[in-house]
Structure 1
């Protein structure tokens, strides 16, 4: 499983996560990703997605259900998620959530964190908080020490920015953990209830 997870790209994780929702064809995947503005997180192109789908199938994480044609449209192959693919999504998200050295991967992991159960998510986020706190303390102490030594402010602006970003993320993370602890957010796969907007979005993507 580790080798499989290590080879997963953020695009691959998002494709597997889509197939956790339902069986679908690549064209629907692309439309859903764009409708959900997932291009904030990854670069979405038809070529990259089709290549990713082929790689996931070769790895045994997804499989073809069948091919159909609707009117004059090109043939569309529908894919389904295999058990190995379902496990790979969870393993990848669990690996990336606590890490503070891979910001791009963390954003994708956080976007897919709803695939985890509440207790699992809380544990991973507490691990992340400990790492963030240590990183923030290093930047904070470094800034104050440098200022005390008379280091010019103009050479410390990047450190200053990073310290501020780390402090802001710690505040946000504490807020999220408090809401998770208070059960004020419905969480986990079993807590998801398809809204009218979600169903309309899915229907539009299938056209």
Structure 2
């Protein structure tokens, strides 16, 4: 099985989207853009088509049919394989606890619902330990700079980063609490049926 750590963020998002339904590449592109996933990764058609081809070569997804409607070009429909499903979960497990790769963390967070609630809590706890260590490091740096009478104008970036880390920790603690007390619905099974129907992917949506 291919190493999940070698997956790019866009590859993870493609595989995760195929967990919802079989679809062709045009559907993938349109759905990702409709969900504004371009906030997380660049959504260039050429990159997506190339990534789909590579994922197929790696045995993570497979062709299941070819559609042709009217004068439109043929569109190959893809399905997610078990190896692809596992690769998404492994990638999220690896990236969700991290604090030094913010772009990858954002994608992992957006796909964290692919893991069980309790596992996400455990991974966030691991991340909390690293956040606390980074906060302590920044505070120590600021205290050391103050002891040396370092002009504050040289410290504004360090101050900003310390404030962002404090806010990040507070937000993560809030998320964890909602996961633990189950006020945050988690996983497909906990999405109300009428909401699932409203957001369900269908070929008619992309006709």
- Sort the TM-score into its range (normalised by shorter chain): over 0.9
CA distance in 1 between partners of 2:137 and 2:98 (Å): 17
What is aligned with 1:44?
43
Contact 1:64/1:79 (<8 A) preserved = yes
CA distance in 1 between partners of 2:106 and 2:183 (Å): 22
What is aligned with 1:11?
10
Contact 1:32/1:205 (<8 A) preserved = no
* Number of positions where the alignment pairs a residue of Structure 1 with one of Structure 2: 205
What is aligned with 2:206?
206
Which deviations, in whole Å up to 9, do the C-alpha atoms of 1:136-190 show, x marking residues without a partner? 1110121122113210111111111110110000000010111111111111242
Q: TM-score, normalised by structure 1?
A: 0.94
Matched, 1:166 2:173: no
Residue ranges of structure 1 left out of the alignment (5+ in a row): none
1:73 CA drift (Å): 1.2
What is aligned with 2:99?
100
Identify if the C-alpha distance between structure 1 residues 205 and 154 changes in structure 2 by more than 3 Å, giving closer, same or farther: farther
What is aligned with 1:124?
123
CA distance in 2 between partners of 1:153 and 1:29 (Å): 49
What is aligned with 1:66?
65
RMSD: 1.5
1:206 CA drift (Å): 2.2
Moved over 6 A (4+): none
CA distance in 2 between partners of 1:134 and 1:108 (Å): 23
Give SS of 1:78's match: strand
Which deviations, in whole Å up to 9, do the C-alpha atoms of 1:105-158 show, x marking residues without a partner? 000000000101000000000000110011011101211221132101111111
Q: TM-score, normalised by structure 2?
A: 0.94
Residue ranges of structure 2 left out of the alignment (5+ in a row): none
CA distance in 2 between partners of 1:205 and 1:102 (Å): 35
CA distance in 2 between partners of 1:191 and 1:110 (Å): 18
